Structure 1
């Protein structure tokens, strides 16, 4: 993890390339739209300040592995974390599998949800997955630039695979990249490493 001064310097350098970009918006919306760029749109709600470093659009690659699959496999991912001025953050992640040469094999996992900061400094993360899984995470910041969470509830549709628990750790690492690791208990397996990725900021 980076310290405060290093993070500020890295952010300033990175912003030379990303500060002019934002997520697209359609004209004519009579309310504030989402923004992944803190220089544009509504002011960030004070309740979201502990999550501020997460806001942006992030892209990169990672590894997925589990005893029930042939692995490890390489995937690419885009994560969007945005806000509309209210006391929560919007979350979307899209992934696709890559072959050994980095070519796209097929689309993979997709999730959407909400980061909900709480008055005591903790937060909730609600996620819905395209695979029929709904998860409620509770977590706390570990530092100013890292956040750890675990599931309190996992609900699945009748057609979804068995998932019973998950943990995640997000952090700003290196020169300002977003890194994360996830553990998952599913298909009769105990909680263990499942995915990890390192993503570069492309917006914000």
Structure 2
């Protein structure tokens, strides 16, 4: 993919399995908003990075900071593994100790990825997480919904990011 330099080394060829979601590769920066029925709303700045090593997966890291103060908030990392049938498997480890195993689908033409938690591990309250990523006009946006022991699936996070 021309113009993408988000590999471990520019000399490493991209594995064909990640080609359908290779539009994610690179570093993204933007702003987001969060909230939930049990917490106060908040705004944040975010960096996402998607990279590859020549293997059939994309490595993912995410960090957020409070919008006004710049104080660190959240971090997570994981791996995204697209399959030829349009399905995708994602594992994410959060700085809070929570771990997500997600499965979903990707649409390479529409540039949409929909994820649904199969397992939320080491969570005393969180029961379910969904994530939807979309790329429209070179802007990557996402929405995260969450369910807890006390609430059904509710909006939790949304952000818009630009490649830097």
TM over 0.5: yes
Which protein is richer in helix relative to its size? 1
- Quote the residue 1:34 is aligned against: 8
Consecutive unaligned residues of structure 1, counting only runs of 5 or more, are 1-11, 24-32
Which residue of the other structure, out of 32, 44, 60, is the alignment partner of 2:14?
Answer: 44
Which residue of the other structure, out of 102, 111, 121, is the alignment partner of 1:137?
Answer: 102
1:75 aligns with 2:38: no
What is the distance in 2 between the residues matched to 1:131 and 1:55?
25
What is the distance in 2 between the residues matched to 1:88 and 1:142?
16
RMSD between aligned residues: 2.0
- Quote the residue 2:87 is aligned against: 122
Task: Flag the structure with more relative contact order, 1 or 2, with Cα contacts below 8 A and sequence separation at least 6.
Answer: 1
How many residue pairs are counted as aligned between the two chains? Answer: 163
What is the distance in 1 between the residues matched to 2:36 and 2:88?
28
What is the distance in 2 between the residues matched to 1:43 and 1:171?
25
Map residues 10-29 of structure 1 onto 2, 5 A cutoff.
none
Runs of 4+ in 1 over 2 A off after TM superposition: none
CA displacement 1:66-112 (0-9 Å, x = unmatched)? 111111x110100000000010000000001123xxx42x2111100
1:190 aligns with 2:152: yes
1:87 aligns with 2:29: no
